[in-house]
Structure 1
Amino acid sequence: MSDNQNISHHTGTVSPPEHASTVSPAAEVSPPNTVSPPNIVVIQADQMAAQALGAYGDAAARTPNIDALAEQGAVFDRAYCNSPLCAPSRASMMTGVMPSELGCFDNGDDFPSSVPTFAHRLRHVGYHTALVGRMHFLGADQHHGFEERLTTDVYPADLDMVPDWTLPLDQKLQWYHDADAVFSAGVSRASVQQDFDDEVGFRTLRHLNDRVRANQAAASAGEQPQPFLMVSSFIHPHDPYEPPQEHWDRFAEGEIPDPAHPEVPDAAEDPHSHRLRAMSGFDLRDPDIEQVRRARRAYYAAVSYIDDHVGRIRERLETLGLSENTVILVTSDHGDMLGEKGLWYKMSPYERSSRVPLIVSGPEHLVPQGRYQTPVSLLDLMPTLVDLAGAREPRSGGDSVLEIARREQTGEMGTEDRPVIIEYLAEGTYRPQLTIVRGQYKYVLCPGDPEQLFDLVADPDELYNAAREPKHAGRVAQLHGELDARYDLTALEAGILESQDQRRLVAEALSMGRIRAFDHNPEPEQRYVRGDFWSALEFGTIRDASR
């Protein structure tokens, strides 16, 4: 039963002794905002690079609310997505399963409803689960375990964005990322993305109110309050780069640094970057330095806009008395190259595209405060939430980042001990691209392309491919061997091509005749005074306990 329905249903059962009073907890029941295990709030931005946050060392960033969470919590300095693209990254994050194993290869792909997500797992142990905002679910299942989904998504949920590895690069599909987002970057008084995120922010705050109302009603009935998982997922700072004026004005002209290395890598050494540029049109026109600066300023302003939403969520948790028993996790689905190496957006294995923020803040007995260098990934998010909820340990390719932090603190785990795998199986490549990060090294393998090896300590900007150096031959062989042991590249490529072919047929068929969209449309709300007049008013009231 949704919270919105609860208001209507409770009006017929809760009978206050005084019209002006609020529901009071029974004496033997815990206070209504105290639950064990903890409440969990996941805040996800789209395309927000870790390197664009003050918490990760960017002096130009204006992110005081995210930075404050980092100061109080656990910060994972080497967190990666498992695919630098929205839908496969999010599917992997929710399930703890790599995109290739899920069969969710790209932004035109769904994943099976029968695969448990963290929403299923927490709901199974008694959590109320709600999604507010974006998750890029495709196909018929628009919930994947969430009891409530309070908004639609910003993009359609159909299967139309299917890559075609048989097409030459000059035959662009309509939905490809386009260079125009850089050339047209600047302030917008209103935009689709602002409207969407403003709604996500509003409904997030109202949903927190609803959880307190539900807890009050439970306490009045002599029941324990129900813990909740709320995922608030925003579209900013994803391109197009169109922030509000207020956030643009937070940055002075020239305050945001230019790309450190805007030069495009050699095509023979890095053909993937040249494919990405050609796909988006940057091979035909390059932004000049003023256009680059304008786009980067707009991006940083959009990140600051997200930070404001984070601040409002933190403030509401505090106001409602929820903050002491709530864990907040901030992350993103991938980063943005922002002009480094002549690249924009994501889809690249380079750090700016594949690294994400991962910050966990909560009660000290649950969250080991500090900064951690062990590589982790979004694959670890599902086991982390299960760990916090005290649910059954899942079979997963990941591990709880809280346990990883504890083991790093005690010296039981070092940065070499735990590899992270990144897959790219979508547009802008013709063959599967696989990346493994182990310790300070990153190795990239794509059939037909030169192998790449980067020493992220000696060469953090990934300027020098060390794969051909004799002194690294053993390391290249080791990392190549690890990928060989995990993947049958021939079978993977054949499976991707077959999937693309099948999904193109499905998409074309569904566009004919009577069309039924997969888009989620929230159910009509019964939020205000319905049924018993005074009980409806009473259920909706959250008293200020300090007065």
Structure 2
Amino acid sequence: MKLYTNVKLICLCMICLTLNCFTISAQVKTKRKPNILVIITDQWRGQALGFIGKEKVKTPNLDALASKGLAVTQMVTNYPVCSPARAMLLTGTYPAKNKVHGNANSNTAPYGVELPSDIVCWSDILKQQGYSNGYIGKWHLDSPHQPYIQTKNNEGGTAWNEWTPFDRRHGFDYWYAYNTYDYHSRPMYWDTKALRDEFHFVDQWGPVHEADKAIDFFDNKGNVRNPNAPFSLVVSINPPHSPYNTAPEKYQKAYENMPLDSLLSDADIPPAGTPMGEEYRKNIKDYYANITGVDEQIGRIIDALKEKKMLDNTIVLITADHGNCLGKHDEVSKNNIYEASLSIPLIVYWKGHISPDIDKKFLGSLVDVCPTLLDLAGLKKEIPATVDGKSYADYFLNRKGAMPTEQFFMGALNNNDTKLSSGFRGIRTDNYKLAYQRKGKQLNAFLYDIKADPFEQNNLYNKDNPQVKILKTRLISLLKKYNDSFTIE
């Protein structure tokens, strides 16, 4: 009887020990830092998403993800040009701090327009916290220098492409990227260990190849990341950036039977026979084909995470560097004050943490991505005090807390304008947009009621307009706050 009792006690102890082990294991599992996936597209305007219902574009994968995550329909880029937008996204700072006041190319190189090696990016902080970081695709934050790399984007009067030295990769251990290269059907890349003259070309549409490489990263093909560490991965996809006629045929066919007239209802599209009116008509179907193609690749990336059982513990953030007028308002693409240029997608997904919502009120800004990502990852204390952006992690997680009441935007600075006095500046609220544009000695002013007049057909600017007085005061305050020397007096 005594032996039976002892055996019984031993069994009970073993059961308790096993249960404790399971509990500890579960606790360790739940405390694991989340992975982070950031997908950046280029020149994708925020209105061109199927679930929004404003344009006849097909984005089934993003529509599905938006139904499960947070989609912000009033997201803007704070500088609608490639390099400045990317610098803001990575650092959470404006050009006065990050030094990227225009596109990084041979014209701006003499003025130091590239991301400083000593500025802190969210990727640097993740690296310090033990993350394995990867970067795939377009970087566009380094200035070309002579002798220029022998690639097509460096032919002609302006050089664009450049290798990124190892010490300028801001914590990204795995590197499969280029500075900027717009030949989407035969893209080129530098591998992690490749030197400046060791780039290679790929005979594959860029977005497809980059999705393949992202899936390889998840699989840890080639041992490119620490399998025991959380990871962050940026997939920076160039299309739908021009040229638009390079999307594979299968995506072009999705629009071939769609009547062109059905895509021309927006009031900001110039009439047929005008240069920009013809630009729009010539490219709109191809632009949509690129978007649909990229959407499919994003779907492949998300499906791969799900299949590998990584999606549940991964923060997914999808956005763009800027939009695309494509001829609207007589603007060929970006770098202007209009909604088609400023508006960009933002979809954030994190299963069990961010509840689904198509949010039409939140005034999102690209400069807020850096602090918000770090906060979502549990690194609020690590957010640099120097950031200009603000974390809205609480709002993303709980739909609680203060929402932004305004969005500051800027752009079109001269190549040599290190003092930040040229171009345009503006402020956008839920209802209105006030902007000032300097052309030589002339200062043009604009006020649009973006709710009543979403295509910005009626400039309501009058210095005595009550909204002008309110917004001008707020804009002056923002210029001072961000050490911006642009004047509107």
TM-score by length of 2: 0.75
Could you tell me which amino acid in structure 2 is paired with residue 286 of structure 1?
P
Worse-matched range after superposition: 135-144 or 452-461: 135-144
State the shift of 1:322 in Å. 0.8
Q: Is the 8 A contact 2:114 2:141 kept in 1?
A: yes
| 1:344-369 Cα deviation digits (max 9, x unpaired) | 2111111110011000011222x232
Task: Identify the match of residue 472 of structure 2 among 461, 471, 480.
Answer: 480
**Is 1:371 equivalent to 2:358 in the alignment?**
yes
Which residue in the other structure is 2:157 paired with? Answer: none
Task: Identify the match of residue 207 of structure 1 among 201, 217, 236.
Answer: 217
Could you tell me which amino acid in structure 2 is paired with residue 451 of structure 1?
A
Which residue in the other structure is 2:191 paired with? Answer: none
| 1:221-266 Cα deviation digits (max 9, x unpaired) | xxxx31111000100000111211110001123165116234669x
Matches within 5 A, 1:366-515: 367-372=354-359, 373-391=361-379, 392-394=381-383, 395=385, 396-405=387-396, 409-410=399-400, 412-413=401-402, 417-426=404-413, 431-447=422-438, 448-468=442-462, 470=464, 473-487=465-479
Q: Is the 8 A contact 2:137 2:177 kept in 1?
A: yes
Task: Identify the match of residue 228 of structure 1 among 226, 231, 234.
Answer: 231
Task: Identify the match of residue 300 of structure 1 among 263, 271, 288.
Answer: 288
Change (3 A) 1:355 1:494: closer
Could you tell me which amino acid in structure 2 is paired with residue 143 of structure 1?
R
Matches within 5 A, 1:115-194: 115-139=119-143, 142-155=168-181, 190-192=185-187
Whole-Å Cα distance in 1 between the matches of residues 265 and 334 of structure 2?
15
State the shift of 1:35 in Å. 6.8
Percent of pairs identical after alignment? 26
**Is 1:57 equivalent to 2:53 in the alignment?**
yes
Which residue in the other structure is 1:41 paired with? Answer: 37
Which residue in the other structure is 2:118 paired with? Answer: 114
State the shift of 1:446 in Å. 2.7
Could you tell me which amino acid in structure 1 is paired with residue 120 of structure 2?
P
Could you tell me which amino acid in structure 2 is paired with residue 248 of structure 1?
Q
| 1:288-311 Cα deviation digits (max 9, x unpaired) | 65x633300000000011001101
Change (3 A) 1:101 1:154: closer
Q: Is the 8 A contact 2:181 2:187 kept in 1?
A: no
| 1:17-71 Cα deviation digits (max 9, x unpaired) | xxxxxxxxx9986799987221111111100111111132245111111111100
Q: How many residues align?
A: 406
Whole-Å Cα distance in 1 between the matches of residues 215 and 396 of structure 2?
30
State the shift of 1:135 in Å. 2.0
Which residue in the other structure is 2:77 paired with? Answer: 81
Change (3 A) 1:456 1:189: closer
Which residue in the other structure is 2:251 paired with? Answer: 247
State the shift of 1:492 in Å. 5.2
Whole-Å Cα distance in 1 between the matches of residues 238 and 447 of structure 2?
33
Could you tell me which amino acid in structure 2 is paired with residue 145 of structure 1?
G
Which residue in the other structure is 1:92 paired with? Answer: 88
Structure number with greater CO (CA < 8 Å, separation at least 6) is 1
Worse-matched range after superposition: 65-74 or 197-206: 197-206
**Is 1:312 equivalent to 2:300 in the alignment?**
yes
State the shift of 1:469 in Å. 7.3
Q: Is the 8 A contact 1:336 1:353 kept in 2?
A: yes
State the shift of 1:451 in Å. 1.5
Whole-Å Cα distance in 1 between the matches of residues 139 and 453 of structure 2?
34
Whole-Å Cα distance in 2 between the matches of residues 189 and 104 of structure 1?
25
Whole-Å Cα distance in 1 between the matches of residues 333 and 444 of structure 2?
23
Whole-Å Cα distance in 1 between the matches of residues 168 and 206 of structure 2?
17
Q: Is the 8 A contact 1:34 1:325 kept in 2?
A: no
Whole-Å Cα distance in 1 between the matches of residues 486 and 425 of structure 2?
15
Which residue in the other structure is 2:310 paired with? Answer: 322
Whole-Å Cα distance in 2 between the matches of residues 112 and 297 of structure 1?
39
Change (3 A) 1:445 1:89: same
Worse-matched range after superposition: 44-53 or 107-116: 107-116
Gap runs ≥5 in structure 2: 1-20, 105-112, 144-164, 189-203
Whole-Å Cα distance in 1 between the matches of residues 241 and 265 of structure 2?
18
> How well do the aligned residues superpose, as a CA RMSD in angstroms?
3.4
| 1:164-216 Cα deviation digits (max 9, x unpaired) | xxxxxxxxxxxxxxxxxxxxxxxx9945496433332221110110089789x
Gap runs ≥5 in structure 1: 1-25, 157-187, 219-224, 266-283, 496-547
2:444 is paired with a residue of what secondary structure? coil
